[in-house]
């Protein structure tokens, strides 16, 4: 694989980021659950609701994205919440995820965060193993809650 570049995403990356999220939803057998759009991404990115990290080749081919935002832990203080982390299928197991992960950790440190949180499906063994290999803890006993408005 050619050189992998990791950089902060811009508005110009939102179409590719949205496409990666749609790929993830398909992988998770939940494609119909995606109700946002590129327009929604553009509006909310410009308003500062989320940030991106982009992995790409030297010629600009998108290899993966991380979508994250600032959050707060009442027990620990500042934290980043990693909403989505998607590496293109053809780029998996080639170091792209490792580079994105390391960059996200640096972003969190620069922001003086105490932790990074995210979710991983219990059946997604490759993702679970990636996180565990990279020093993460997966929290047993917690259930996710949500309320649609």
Q: Is the dihedral of CA 34, 35, 40, 45 positive or negative?
A: negative
State what percent of residues in the chain have pLDDT above 90. Answer: 79
- In order of their start, the domains of the chain are 4-133 (3.40.630.30)
The string of pLDDT tens digits covering residues 84-143 is 999 998 999 999 999 999 999 999 999 999 999 999 988 889 999 999 999 898 988 887
Amino acid 10: pLDDT = 98
Which residues, 6 or more positions from 47, have their beta carbon under 8 angstroms from its beta carbon? none
How many other C-beta atoms are found inside a 10 Å radius of the C-beta of residue 14?
A: 21
The yes-or-no verdict on residue 63 having pLDDT over 70 is yes
Amino acid 1: pLDDT = 56
Give the predicted TM-score (pTM) of the model: 0.92
How many other C-beta atoms are found inside a 10 Å radius of the C-beta of residue 79?
A: 19
Strand partners, 86: 65
Phi, psi (rounded to 5 degrees) for 128:
-60, -45
Active-site positions read: 131
Token digits for 94?
């080639």
> Distance between CA atoms of 92 and 5, rounded to whole angstroms?
15
How many other C-beta atoms are found inside a 10 Å radius of the C-beta of residue 70?
A: 15
Q: Closest Cα to residue 54, out of 91, 81, 79?
A: 91
| pLDDT, mean of residues 57-62 | 92
> Distance between CA atoms of 97 and 130, rounded to whole angstroms?
9
| pLDDT, mean of residues 34-52 | 97
Token digits for 78?
């500042």
Amino acid 148: pLDDT = 83
């Amino acid at each position: 694989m050619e050189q992998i570049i990791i950089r902060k995403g811009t508005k110009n990356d939102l179409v590719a980021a949205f496409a990666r999220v749609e790929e993830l939803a398909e992988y998770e057998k939940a494609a119909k659950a995606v109700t946002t759009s590129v327009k929604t991404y553009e509006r909310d990115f410009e308003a500062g609701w989320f940030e991106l990290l982009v992995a790409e080749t030297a010629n600009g081919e998108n290899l993966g994205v991380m979508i994250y935002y600032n959050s707060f832990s009442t027990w620990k203080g500042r934290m980043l919440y990693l909403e989505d982390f998607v590496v293109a299928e053809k780029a998996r197991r080639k170091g792209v995820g490792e580079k994105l992960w390391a960059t996200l950790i640096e972003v969190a440190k620069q922001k003086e965060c105490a932790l990074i949180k995210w979710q991983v499906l219990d059946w997604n063994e490759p993702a679970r193993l990636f996180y565990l290999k990279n020093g993460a803890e997966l929290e047993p006993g917690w259930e996710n809650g949500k309320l649609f408005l």
